[in-house]
Amino acid sequence: MSSASLERLERKLGYTFTDRALMVLALTHRSFAGRNNERLEFLGDAILNFVVGEALFQRFPQAREGQLSRLRARLVKGETLAVLARGFELGDFLRLGSGELKSGGFRRESILADATEALIGAIYLDRGMDSARERVLAWLEPHFQGLTLVDTNKDPKTRLQEFLQSRSCELPRYEVVDIQGEPHCRTFHVECEIALLTEKTRGQGASRRIAEQVAAAAALVALGVENGND
């Protein structure tokens, strides 16, 4: 791999290696050579879990262990790491055997995620824990920004209800304030009222249920629980 290619990847990573041999090893898949990135991947995985766990512990002082575990799992899962790798265009730099190259291994989520972990391990060996922590947190910062202690796999009404219950607040009240359109093509307008907000939030949709979900999502944003981009 040329020096120019390595420099290009370093710029994408935001990190310059003291020992580029570690970087090259982190990019070497087992299909390419016997000496490959699997050990670095093991090390990087451990560092990633620790750094993310530490950051979540500090950012969410009221969170329970189960909530912290759920958030960490979201941040360290292969899908998230593969997103990072694609942002670095990591597939262009991987050292793969001919079989993996032909089968599109440079696009495979698991290979990209493993190489990302290996790079974390390589950075740790290159310059220590502080450098590894700084890069991990910088890479994941956009993902940290969207985190909430409310389970975003649930619908907005459920998330809002659970948020209010966790604070011993009254449950939200939904009211249909308008219905527009013909019977076969109606638009429902709903308001959501909760004690923690001075103003009601609104939602509209093709059914009352959809309109209530939209109003609940708006309430979560107004409460500062979610940022509207989840």
Choice between 63 and 124, residue whose per-residue pLDDT is larger? 124
> Where in the sequence numbering do the catalytic residues fall?
45, 117
Strands of 173-180's sheet, edge to edge?
173-180, 187-193, 201-205
pLDDT confidence bin for 179, thresholds 50/70/90: very high
d(CA 69, CA 86): 25
Sign of CA dihedral 163, 76, 57, 133: negative
Entry pTM:
0.66
Start-to-end CA span in the chain (Å): 39
List, in sequence order, every residue forming a beta bridge with 180; answer none if it has no partner. Answer: 187
Q: Which tokens hold the place of 85?
A: 């790798």
Name the region of 207 (left: φ>0; alpha: ψ -120 to 50; beta: rest): beta
d(CA 3, CA 90): 16
Using one digit for the tens of pLDDT, what is the confidence trace for 113-159? 999 999 999 999 999 999 999 999 999 988 887 677 765 456 789 88
pLDDT confidence bin for 219, thresholds 50/70/90: very high
